[in-house]
Amino acid sequence: MSNDTEAKSISIESLTNFCVEALTRVGMSRTDAETTATILVTTDAMGVFTHGTKALSGYLNKLKGGGYRATATPRIEREGAGWAIIDGESALGLVGSDFAMRTAMAKARNVGIAYVGLRNTGHIGAAGYYAATAARAGFIGMVTGNDIPSVAAPGSRGAVLGSNPIAYGIPVGNGDPILLDMATAAVAGGKIYAALQRGEPIQPTWLIDHEGKPTTDGSLYPDKAALAPMAGHKGYGFGLWCEILSAILPGGHMTWQVGSWIFDDPARPSYHNASFIAIDVGAMVPLDQFEQRLQRLIDEIHATPTAGGVERVMLPGEREWAQRRKSETDGIILPQDVIDKIRQAAAHVGMEAPL
């Protein structure tokens, strides 16, 4: 494309190879770099650009500064048959989260259900990736995370909780998992930045100013405005649930003890936390019975009469899986704000951007 401000297409393989090379240049093992690259690029391939390779530049900055440790290995601090607490050792949150979900699945395979708390990790990226990993393996997966406060509570004049994510994945036989991944804020903070970078307007339901009133001025975030909670008190309640499962239960840092992986000194750990729950479906009910009952529910939802112009009611994740298949065939169409961040990432490690 001749216009440098237009979105550009790149193959999944090319983008993955670039991420792996960039991460190994700052000292990560090839195994951890491949894990991280796969998570970031898969997220982009699904069209969730706020949590994909756009984050690579910030991760590289923290790895170079030492706040995230390139050679760290997350370790199990204590455990039981159906639970574990993992110290992330300030490794990249994607590395710690992949290890934590796989630990939860292994334990659930033995006892039916498992909880794993991950403390002292980095920003975990897209929580839905790990829930989908569990679902692909035949588990019901749930993931929660916490973050530095950026979300108001009903009636507050400032941030109370992070835009704490919650995600679940449900196995669907040979099909794509049902997959929900959402922030407990009205909108993810990354979407505020992305809208500002693209010159797009901020919705009046996204931000609360320091007087406790809605604002459409995106430039106020995060210093002079907080994200609105999703669905008011309901989103606030879910955000609190994420904080408890992710930070309180495993003994991690909470609320303002968590750092900003974007704005803090690169030498400072961010102390993020997350939780991972895996339920082995086959341990609780014959798998074919579960799949038949779930398919009946799916068919019922798809058959629901629709409003004008709507082809069918969709399940959580359907749109993203369809986008991933398109990306596998046609490449990932990267928006300009992501392209800019990829170029920053390349500059961090003395590489040419693959665009």
Q: How far apart are CA 190 and CA 196, in angstroms?
A: 10
Look at residue 4 in the predicted model and tell me its pLDDT.
Answer: 55
pTM of this prediction?
Answer: 0.95
Residue 1 confidence (pLDDT): 35
Pick the CATH number of 73-185+229-284 from 3.40.50.1450, 3.40.50.2300, 3.30.1130.10, 3.30.1370.60: 3.30.1370.60
In the block, tokens 């036989």 appear at: 173
DSSP string, 212-268: S-EE--GGGTTTTEEEPBTTTHHHHHHHHHHHIIIIITTT---GGGSPPTTTS-TTS
Backbone torsions φ then ψ of 13, nearest 5 degrees? -65, -45
Residues of the chain with CATH 1.10.1530.10: 1-65+316-355
Residue 8 is predicted with a pLDDT of 81
Give 108-135 pLDDT, tens digit per residue: 999 999 999 999 999 999 999 999 999 9
Q: Measuring CA to CA, which residue among 153, 146, 179, 180 is closest to residue 234?
A: 153
Is the pLDDT assigned to residue 137 strictly greater than 60?
yes
Domain with CATH 3.30.1370.60 in the chain: 73-185+229-284
Which of the four pLDDT bands, split at 50, 70 and 90, describes residue 3? Answer: very low
Question: pLDDT-derived band of residue 5, with 50, 70 and 90 as boundaries?
Answer: low
198 confidence band (pLDDT: 50, 70, 90): confident
At 2, the pLDDT band (50, 70, 90 cuts) reads very low
Lowest model confidence (mean pLDDT) among 1-5, 199-203, 217-221, 281-285: 1-5
**Mean of the pLDDT values across residues 21-34?**
98
For domain 1-65+316-355, which architecture applies? Orthogonal Bundle (1.10)
Tokens of 239: 């955000």
User: CB neighbours of 79 closer than 8 A, spacing ≥ 6?
Assistant: 85, 107
> What's the confidence (pLDDT) of residue 189?
80
β-bridge mates for residue 142, sequence order? 168, 277
What pLDDT does residue 197 have? 81
The gap from C-alpha 102 to its chain's centroid, in whole angstroms, comes to 16
Residue 59: partners with Cβ closer than 8 Å, 6 or more residues away: 23, 36, 68, 92, 122, 123, 261
Task: Work out the average pLDDT over 336-349.
Answer: 96
- Token representation of residue 125: 């990226």
Q: What is the mean pLDDT of residues 44-71?
A: 97
pLDDT digits (tens, 9 = 90+) for 205-219: 999 999 999 999 999
Q: What average pLDDT is seen over the chain?
A: 95
Name the residue among 69, 88, 90 with its Cα closest to residue 77: 88
Per the model's pLDDT, the better-predicted residue between 91 and 355 turns out to be 91
pLDDT of 216-243, one tens digit each?
A: 999 999 889 999 999 999 999 999 999 9
Closest alpha carbon to 178 in 290, 282, 275: 290
Amino acid, single-letter form, for residue 130 = Y
